[in-house]
Copies of this chain bind each other. A is one copy, B any other.
Amino acid sequence: MFKVNDNYLKLPGSYLFSTVGKKSRAYQAANPEKQVISLGIGDVTQPLAPAIIEALHRAVDEMGDAKTFRGYAPDLGYEFLRNAIAKNDYADRGCRIEADEIFVSDGAKCDSSNIQEIFGLDNKIAVCDPVYPVYVDSNVMAGRTGTYDAATGMWSDVIYMPCTADNGFAPELPEKTPDLIYLCFPNNPTGATVTKAQLQEWVDYANKVGAVIIYDAAYEAYISEENVPHSIYECEGARTCAIELKSFSKNAGFTGTRLGYTVIPKELKSADVSLHALWARRHGTKYNGAPYIVQRAGEAVYSPEGKAQLKEQVKYYMDNAKIILEGLKEAGYCVSGGVNAPYIWLKTPEKMTSWEFFDYLLENANVVGTPGSGFGPSGEGYFRLTAFGSRENTIAAVERIKRI
């Protein structure tokens, strides 16, 4: 008789954003006359930029002609895209990353959940708390996290690095030594970042203890301050300890178009085993490439027109962030984030739990946000709003929140 993967049964509840979606759909169904505004899931609302649309149309035409039709993509992704990434995201910032150290994928969510597969089950992981739930959940599914304590919301074999108001939402080096360290800056959900000097400390620490940093830079495009690093490879020594994950979802609106990439420098090794080779093997065996037309769309992100148009798009969302940040401050909320990230992190009023505030906001303001506790135990008592709505909805949501 077949046996299921018991680790799945340890997962409490369903995936955070599925639950948020279900609750808001249920409310809308019960109250069809209400206009619910979602600032919950971090999904973009602006259309793809004209340069990207043009690139997509051109690539579609190529797929309709036998002379230019493309079948299976190269294992690592098309060179035209990897070259554009290597130049724009790395060389132009003074980071040494070769095009063949870049693995094109269908998005950072997949990469951030799949990357743990190339590591043994006996590695100890460390995560910021709160953080994007996929890091922990994918390790739970693999069986790397021990047992769950419902009272604390913590896994016995996970090292939690609290990011709280006390430390400015920047984690401190952990007391226990981890093998894999997930860092996400600008952080989802807090919107907080670290300086280059702070990140250098993490790189030095990882090299010292022999840990790998899995660095999720999905929100890099929203960095507005000078001393915040755009890539972990800006730090010295990162090539021997860091994997970087990038997404096209937030800088170019690809949440429904799907594109991302992972960087694994060739120096990153355990004894003689190269992580680059292991990931290449996984990519070749368990994946089959992002669509050609989508890789061409990704290339257009780096064209002069694409860059100019996307700068405007990022500004649009960051103006939303400012509206939320200032509006909530006026309404007396304790808020942070929203300066180097499209997320606003607020303390729930009157000691409400995160889910109590979710219901309160949904029922009284018809606004959907994301409960901070869904991102980890230290997120309890906090709440995340995103700047990815339309201007109109953002203004309306803030007005409604002010009124309650």
Interface residues of A (CB under 8 A from B): 1-6, 8-9, 11, 14-15, 17-18, 41, 43-48, 50, 53, 56-57, 60-61, 63-66, 69-73, 75, 106-107, 109-110, 113-114, 117-123, 134, 137-138, 141, 179-180, 209-212, 253, 255-258, 270, 273, 275, 278, 281-282, 284-294, 390
Q: Is the CB of B72 within 8 A of A8?
A: no
Identical copies in the complex: 2
Minimum-distance CB pairs A-B, first 9: A1-B210, A3-B120, A43-B71, A53-B64, A113-B286, A2-B179, A15-B284, A71-B255, A70-B256
Assembled-state Cα–Cα distance A141/B163 (Å): 35
| Nearest chain B CB to A323 CB, angstrom units | 18
Our pick among B15, B56, B288 for the contact of A109 (Cβ within 8 Å) is: B288
Query: Does B63 contact A287, Cβ atoms closer than 8 Å?
Result: no
Which residue of chain B lies nearest to A289 when distances are taken between CB atoms in the complex? Answer: B258
In Å, the complex CA distance between A136 and B95 comes to: 39
Whole-angstrom distance between the Cβ of A48 and the nearest chain B Cβ: 5
| In the bound complex, CA of A138 to CA of B288 (Å) | 14
Given known pairs A110-B286, A291-B257, A293-B257, the reply for A69 and B46 (CB within 8 Å) is: yes
Check B257 against A4 for contact (C-beta < 8 Å).
no
A–B Cβ pairs within 8 angstroms, 14 of them: A1-B211, A2-B180, A5-B119, A17-B284, A46-B69, A47-B65, A48-B64, A53-B60, A73-B256, A106-B288, A109-B287, A141-B281, A256-B289, A293-B293
Q: Which residues of B contact A41 (CB under 8 A)?
A: 72
Closest Cβ of chain B to A219, distance in Å, is 16
Which of B66, B179, B290 has a CB less than 8 Å from the CB of A258? Answer: B290
Cβ contact within 8 Å between B256 and A291 = yes
CB atoms of B72 and A281 under 8 A apart: no
